[in-house]
Structure 1
């Protein structure tokens, strides 16, 4: 019984382990997971009680009765053997005594003596045997009853423990039963709905293909799009395998900036394109098969076929979007540092200086986590966050980052602090904000409302909290926003400036640029477009070597507006607050204005419909421009004079801002009301760096259009030049000042 009970406990443990595994597999169903976990814990307690019962049985019955059998019963058996032996000897002595003849006196005496001694020994052994019988009978009664009483007490304790355990579990089981009744009703309703949908689908006309496959560049698993495609052989014959279509139909996916495919799901992926930034995609209408498209890289091309025209369009759009996203958000991960310097590169790589890489990995992590509050997740407080929201300027744990991705990029743009490459201006933006700054804005009323932040691991609570915080903005102190209507706020702000004599007519482009370009004489940068992109690259490096441009991160040395005007209106309309803070380079105030609902593209009608992005240009801050662009500012929105941010940055000689706007897709062909585009302005001002950047971008655009390479960032030389300017504007802004110094000399 004990051995069988122990085997039962072992089997029961395996059963409980199976329930626990089932609970883990049901992690997405809170009711099932909670119930199975609680039941497995209760059953484990019962197993423990069973184990205690069998241990007590081992001690109370087996140990005690084995002692009784092995010791007391053995003594009785030994006494019995001696008694039987002496009894036999006495019988032999009696027989021998009876057989002795009378005339043999000597034998008679010997037989009599043996019989007497045997009888004496028999009596002694018989008394000892009777004693052992009496002792055994007496002890048998006490030992058996004692063992059974202990055994029954063990059962009593076992059932009391089980009763107490299930008495506590009873209310929960009762509530679960009520939930099950509701679940049964819901399941029946869902079944009816599914049957109705099934019937509807059966009646649907499938003569036309309405398959739709979506792509998502912000997917949490990194897979932008996946599905089956036919692949043409890459050998010299370029054939499709007609006999075995399964040999050419592969499972393709776009992930980690690569195009890969698998023959079977268990196989390791085969990389078709290692870097999507170096390839293009186009339709193929000159082949015998339908729905074909081609992915072309510098080293090879891959002909693919979708199942329908809609799927082909979806794949082409997914590849194009991935190319654009990779170019915009991910820098080179293998930038070479051993490029040889030439006479035209001069001081750029002279001495001990070498080309700097894009900041990424641990360097970005360390710099961002040094900001107050960034050492823990902004939303749940989990330490050592490895993810960030770049438009909010906060750090996040991996679980909160997934929730932020689900909000959409118009609310939060998530990037890894260790896996992604970081542009210098974006890293500076992260260092200007931080968790403490943003929580003072988005959690201003959390204590008044009595809301508690979610703890790590509480997925549902986190989702509700983050949505309320960033989408609904429930915890933003909206009382601090302006009580003035927009028009009254703008009039008040304008009136204050008039009193201080700060509103004047803006000079034209000729007045802003001055005659510096003419005084310099011949324009050394007017060259034929046929000179090629390498010639512009040489000019760029020559310009960088002599460090020609204005300091894009420092305030302009010209006349500044009196910021005290803004201080008279502490409670401005959110649009005005964003407008003011953009000029004054106050990122926390800008974040607060956006949280209060400010339009990032708001135009001030009293100042030539100038936008916050234009004010950021006038303020001279590259980081402020980056913040507005990350939060949806239109890089091509013009003011009343037809001048966009690129115009203003060119007029002021802010090279870093010009570089930033060109990378963000600014239209350099746009002209103001006087017919001047940014290139003509830069040429007239003889600003070598800006002229080179504009020409290089224009030539790169023309080259991509002529070769049909839409959606691609450009060749390596083009990217290197823009990367050099970005690095210098962010990390060594003091070097970008020769243009101003030379203008003063002239």
Structure 2
């Protein structure tokens, strides 16, 4: 340790000692100022370093995300990932430098200033206080009068004590001066060495880490050079092709109009067409159409889900359209809808028509080649209550909706009452009616691999000509029907001669519907078939003609008998003059037979046919409080303004009966119609809320009818 001040010199308290003390005090004060400034600068550097690490890590994450984005380019992905990992290691190493600087430089220098320099100041204060005491004692000793021994003695004793204290404090101060001088060197040098070591290790690690990439960097450099050369060559080639193409007439693009059924991407034809909307304005929109997977679809943007125009081209036809003012129009007609399209030229019009025709032929060819596989039920005839394969569905559509109404089991929406209807009937029940005499004839029933012509001939014979049903004059079908004891005393209806309808057990088609509709069996509505009670009586209906038979079967909710009556030509709107001109639909309303009403409506029943009291099905459903039926009839176009002989419309009846649900349905239906009429000028099609409410009531009526059995004390709320 280098001795800054000598202890012997401090005892003399000479002017030289005092001068040396002043130099030391000034030096320590300046050292304190500089160290305070250095600590603040170190703090700022550390904060900047932390920000640098954070921004560097953010930058590294950006490099990694860019690498993930370039995943289709292995070179770009690999290079970005490699460099980002090395850079991340270097940033982590720099973080260690920051920690070292925090601990060895800032913390130690701050401790030196706050503890060692402060202690030096405290010792200096004690030295200065004792020095002042000594000065005072010397002055009082010099001023003591010779003639006053007592004062002389006191002054001498005070001087002795002050000198002793001063010399003790002076020795301590000199010691502290020498200690802080030595400690200043060790603390500053130690902090400096720690910082230098941390920086050296950081730069050595960074150099070593990046040096390991020398070969890889050289490889990237070579590939970059090759890329530059290839890019220059490709640019030259593109410029030449561009110049050559500009010399041609690019008004038409033949490649776009080529039909290719075996295209690698599965798109046989694609291009822009104008499509006329089905709204009130009949607006035209330009959309990108394509033929793919035996479907005609279009989309506005590439990432949008394509909208299916024709779900299977085998079920559509295409023809020229000359009924509108626009040129180059053609029409794609499917069983469920018609789509009017417009091409940009006559050539494109012909190309698209040929493409659709070729797609139809190609689809049937694929079907024939795959005829060994069984045809699955993907379609249904909702008025007959049967499921169909794709080929038979097309034939059924060609019969017309007065014979068969075809709907997709997977692509169309299915209302709950329609599902109930399908569960009540099914192929087995209908086949027993329409193929009752199949054993008596010599015509061979076609199978799944039979030609389409054979299937078409069979279906027309079965459902249009009805060659295989039992004839009316025949007898031997004497199975009884049951009717409720409440109806046993009603007047007898007009009789017929001929066979009696069959009473057969109803097959369970819930498993089939579950598979084809995607619903679990528990989600399907439970069958509402006729239940035989102990009090019921047997009713012999063997003498009824088809209309009367349909009338009685509707009240009994016996779907096989209803289907049998319709097969034998029953008028679905048959009027029973003996019972207030009631119809089969009104009979079904009387027993709240939702599925039976749906069956009659699907087969052409008039939803507004009134009885002798002027009451239609909607009146009767309102009077009886059958909310589900009210919902069904409103959806099927029932007139909610029709008045009976008492000049009451359904809304008035519902209010009188305090049925809040029915009042709500009727008022919403009326409001929706008024809104739709007002909004037709703007191309609107009604309120979605109306559809949502009616959908909820339909599900409740089919699945939870008990929830609809409620009344309100004040329906006008």
Q: TM-score, normalised by structure 1?
A: 0.42
Task: Decide which structure has the larger Cα Rg and report it.
Answer: 2
Identify which of structures 1 and 2 has the higher relative contact order when contacts are C-alpha pairs closer than 8 Å and 6+ apart: 1
